[in-house]
Amino acid sequence: MADQIVHAIETTNLADILERVLDKGIVIAGDIKISIADVDLLNIKIRLLIASVDKAMEMGINWWQQDPYLSSEAKEAQLEAENTTLKRKLGRLEAESSRRRKA
C-alpha cells in the first residue's frame, strides 16, 4: 500500500515538471566536432527545443503549419501551386504546338 502512495506522489511530481517544461519551454544545445591534426572533418550543431504548441507559436515557431506532410492546408496549397505551374506549362506547350501546325 505504501508503495502505491509513493508511486502516486512521484507521478504527480513528474506531471508537474512536464507541465512546467511545456509551459516555459526548454532548450538543449550541443556541438559535436571531429578533427584530426587541427583539420575539422565533421562539425554538427544540435539544437532541441521542447515546448507546448501554444508556447512555440507564441515564440514565432510554426513550421509544422507549412509542412505538407503535417498540415492538410499546406498540402492543399502545395497541390494548388503545382496545378498552377502545370497549367502554365500546358498553355505554353499548346501555344507552341499550334504555332508549329500553322507553319
End-to-end CA distance of the chain, in Å?
94
Asked if residue 48 has pLDDT above 70, the reply is yes
Confidence class of residue 47 from pLDDT cuts 50, 70 and 90? Answer: confident
Average pLDDT over residues 50-75: 82
Using the predicted structure, report yes or no on whether residue 76 has a pLDDT greater than 60.
yes
Cell numbers found for residue 69: 506532410
Sequence spans of domains, the chain? 1-61, 65-103
Q: By C-alpha distance, which of 32, 53, 28, 52 is closest to 43?
A: 32
Q: What is the mean pLDDT of residues 51-77?
A: 82
